[in-house]
Amino acid sequence: MTGQSWAGNSGAAVHFSGVYYVQFCSKRCRWSLSIVATPIGNLADLSDRVRQVLAAADLVAAEDTRHSSRLLQHLGLSKPLLALHDHNERDRVGRILSALAEGQQVALISDAGTPLISDPGYILVREARKAGFPVSPIPGPCALVAALSAAGLPTDRFLFAGFCRLNGRVDVQRSWNCVNRLPLWCSTNPPSNSGPDAGSG
């Protein structure tokens, strides 16, 4: 990211090297970054607020644009989509900050559930907040909370370890350390890691 720059009508041009700075020239900006939770498999879980936010968005940053385009089609929306995933997030931040500086509304969505929860978006949110842009969560489905709510387990305290691939001695030791700290320990595992020795507590 070294040596990149971005500018907008409402903010002065900025040069950054890992850190973003912005000087606002107007108080009439309508920019905001919305972190939008989307359904986990059932489109009936879409809230009216999610529909409104996506309808108002000038740009939608999506983990997989092909997947998200189907969601927008379901809503009858046609929006510019920008792919943002683990492999390109750092490169996309400047483009999204430019859109915000231009006064655009930007929505971040993942393939399913709440962005940033074992999904991309942390770098974007961190740098947007650092630059002074408003960041708003739009609550909705979250696989972790949905699973816990129906598990019949005590949920007054739990630890979420994210993706914990149990394929090495270090990972196994770290996992057991987590298990011993709290009565309920949760992790996200792909099907290939969901054998009897790789489940979450």
pLDDT value of residue 137: 95
Largest CA distance in the chain: 58
Q: What is this structure's pTM?
A: 0.72
Residues comprising the chain, all counted: 201
- Residues 33-46 have a mean pLDDT of 94
Strands 11-16 and 4-8: antiparallel
Rounded mean pLDDT, 2-8? 44
Instruction: Delineate the domains of the chain, giving CATH numbers in brackets.
Output: 4-141 (3.40.1010.10), 144-193 (no CATH)
DSSP calls for 55-67:
HH-SEEEES-HHH
What pLDDT was estimated at residue 158? Answer: 79
pLDDT band at residue 155 under the 50/70/90 scheme: confident
